[in-house]
């Protein structure tokens, strides 16, 4: 890596003795929150890394990583993103290359080429840069590019091996309590227990829960290496609503047999129209009929296989995104894949202090309250990833004529490392309401990427305006070089 990259603050020694291999707490703040383009280097950890890993040398680390391939097809021109495979914690990691078809995104070499002072800038900046036509689609010439890619490869491998080691070290319950796994939830008015979202899920459990007469079903994403899970249950308070909670992020695309997500906008506007709305009826991966077709009824046990045949008039009453230690506990639901679905609010929370948003409560967080902290842009990026995925799912599988005008301003709540809150009203930085930039689709008109720049810049300005005296986290300082 070039010298212009400011070394991250070295983590404390993993442990005072080599025996406490379970002490990985020092990764929480540093390791797991590396932005998408920031890969762990050996030097980041000082001499303790291999000792902590119990591995003799770097070759062994890399070798271990190479032996754990993932079958995800890498995006074009991406520097070996598929080398990452993690047993449990990968959901918490930003993707080496996110769901984007812009090959220049998340390419540190290219990003560096564009701006030598913002090596640590996150994805949205690079999006904006590439659209600005200042070389964002360019490439690093010759050996320099090769060296850079090799460097990235090696560090990816190292991170993979390290994370695998960590995962192997974690006990089951340590994994369960991983605070870094993002969670987001939907509450959907639907007769169906299971609402298609475009991903393929495998059910691995069902259980009656105390607070509800309805069973809770547990699903895992079936994509290789993907650890995203979701819980599905009917709301005990309002049985007309289905709650679905997602845990983790998909770092892969939709199954190929599915239609790609439509570009979209979730913001309230009469003028909003889907950009490339598919013509109904949509292709669907529906296995069995819904209740209107075969009468699932309110059946308890054994109802887990009830796939949606079609959902009509679903209403997304709330979307709650959370990356915090505290589970919102409100479950969720996602958009049905059919007619007249609507989103009434989106609530994002990546902070350790969860909003605890109640289920189905629209606009859980009051905009403008408790503005105090700055957030790193990569945290913001992760927020946007959550939202991107969540809303993309909703939008992709909702009807083209869904009454999106019902959407209310989105609140974003996050925290910094000090866990203080910042609360930004959606309208503050999503000024024109367009959210399409984050759909990471190749079909979005180029102009929409400018929207992304606008959003990001606005957010940072908003943050800074509300926290002028807040010293940023050491990781953050470079993040705020966003022009």
State the DSSP H helix or E strand holding residue 233, giving kind and residue range, or none if neither. strand 229-234
Instruction: Give me the 327-366 binding string for DNA, x by CB under 7 A, dash otherwise.
Output: x---------------------------------------
Number of residues that bind DNA (CB under 7 A): 32
Q: Compare residues 132 and 209 and give the one whose CB is closer to DNA.
A: 209
Can residue 171 be called a binding residue for DNA (CB under 7 A)?
yes
How many Å apart are CA 31 and CA 48, to the nearest integer? 14
174-213 residues in contact with DNA (CB under 7 A) are 174, 176-177, 200-211
Name which of 249, 78, 55 is nearest 158 in CA terms: 55
Q: Compare residues 217 and 467 and give the one whose CB is closer to DNA.
A: 217
CB 175 to DNA: min, Å: 7
Q: Residue 218: how many CA atoms within 13 Å on its side-chain side?
A: 7
Q: Compare residues 132 and 208 and give the one whose CB is closer to DNA.
A: 208
Can residue 483 be called a binding residue for DNA (CB under 7 A)?
no
Can residue 4 be called a binding residue for DNA (CB under 7 A)?
no
In this chain, which stretch among 73-81, 135-143, 169-177, 348-356 interacts with DNA, using CB under 7 A?
169-177
According to CB under 7 A, which one of 153, 216, 262, 473 is a site residue for DNA?
216
How many Å apart are CA 179 and CA 190, to the nearest integer? 30
According to CB under 7 A, which one of 218, 313, 367, 370 is a site residue for DNA?
218
For 18, counting Cβ atoms within 10 Å of its Cβ (0-12 exposed, 13-18 middle, 19+ buried), the class is: exposed
Can residue 225 be called a binding residue for DNA (CB under 7 A)?
no
Name which of 158, 458, 36, 430 is nearest 269 in CA terms: 430
For 196, 282, 428, the CA distances from 403, given in Å and listed in that order, are 19, 18, 23
CB 474 to DNA: min, Å: 30
How many Å apart are CA 36 and CA 422, to the nearest integer? 22
How many Å apart are CA 275 and CA 295, to the nearest integer? 35
Name which of 144, 174, 153, 181 is nearest 40 in CA terms: 153
Can residue 127 be called a binding residue for DNA (CB under 7 A)?
no
Q: Compare residues 295 and 368 and give the one whose CB is closer to DNA.
A: 295
At 203 the three-state DSSP class reads strand
Q: Compare residues 28 and 51 and give the one whose CB is closer to DNA.
A: 28
According to CB under 7 A, which one of 103, 303, 362, 457 is a site residue for DNA?
303
Name the site residues for DNA (rule: CB under 7 A). 171-174, 176-177, 200-211, 216-218, 222, 229, 231, 301-307, 327
């Amino acid at each position: 890596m070039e010298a212009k990259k400011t070394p991250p603050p070295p983590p404390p020694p993993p442990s005072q003795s080599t025996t406490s291999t379970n002490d990985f707490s020092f990764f929480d703040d540093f390791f797991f929150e590396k932005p998408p383009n920031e890969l762990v280097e050996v030097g980041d950890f000082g001499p303790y890394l291999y000792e902590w890993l119990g591995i003799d040398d770097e070759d062994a680390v890399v070798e271990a990583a190479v032996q754990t391939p993932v079958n995800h097809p890498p995006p074009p021109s991406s520097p070996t993103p598929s080398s990452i495979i993690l047993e449990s914690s990968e959901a918490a990691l930003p993707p080496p290359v996110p769901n984007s078809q812009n090959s220049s995104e998340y390419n540190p070499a290219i990003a560096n080429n564009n701006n030598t002072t913002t090596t640590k800038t996150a994805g949205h900046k690079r999006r904006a840069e590439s659209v600005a036509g200042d070389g964002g689609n360019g490439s690093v010439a010759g050996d320099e590019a090769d060296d850079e890619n090799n460097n990235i490869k090696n560090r990816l491998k190292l991170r993979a091996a390290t994370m695998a080691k960590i995962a192997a070290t974690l006990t089951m319950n340590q994994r369960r309590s991983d605070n870094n796994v993002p969670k987001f939830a939907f509450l959907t008015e639907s007769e169906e227990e299971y609402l298609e979202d475009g991903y393929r899920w495998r059910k691995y459990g069902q259980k009656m829960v105390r607070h509800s007469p309805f069973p809770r079903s547990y699903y895992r994403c079936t994509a290789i290496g993907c650890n995203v899970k979701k819980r599905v249950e009917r709301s005990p308070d309002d049985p007309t609503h289905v709650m679905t909670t997602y845990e983790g992020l998909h770092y892969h695309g939709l199954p190929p047999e599915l239609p790609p997500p439509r570009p979209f906008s979730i913001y309230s506007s009469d003028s909003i129209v889907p950009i490339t709305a598919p013509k109904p009826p949509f292709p669907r991966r529906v296995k069995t009929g819904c209740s209107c077709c075969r009468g699932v009824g309110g059946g308890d046990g054994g109802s887990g296989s009830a796939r949606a045949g079609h959902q009509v008039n679903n209403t997304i009453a709330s979307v709650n995104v959370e990356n915090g230690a505290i589970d919102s506990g409100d479950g969720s639901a996602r958009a049905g894949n059919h007619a007249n679905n609507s989103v009434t609010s989106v609530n994002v929370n990546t902070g350790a202090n969860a909003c605890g948003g109640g289920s189905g409560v629209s606009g859980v967080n009051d905009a403008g309250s408790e503005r105090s902290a700055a957030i790193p842009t990569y945290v913001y990026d992760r927020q946007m990833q959550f939202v991107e995925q969540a809303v993309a799912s909703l939008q992709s599988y909702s009807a083209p004529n869904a009454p999106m005008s019902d959407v209310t301003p989105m609140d974003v709540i996050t925290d910094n490392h000090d866990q203080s809150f910042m609360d930004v009203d959606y309208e503050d930085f999503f000024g024109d309401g367009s959210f399409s930039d984050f759909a990471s689709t190749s079909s979005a008109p180029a102009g929409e990427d400018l929207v992304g720049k606008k959003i990001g810049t606005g957010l940072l300005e908003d943050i800074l305006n509300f926290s002028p005296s807040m010293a940023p986290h050491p990781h953050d300082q470079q993040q705020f070089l966003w022009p």
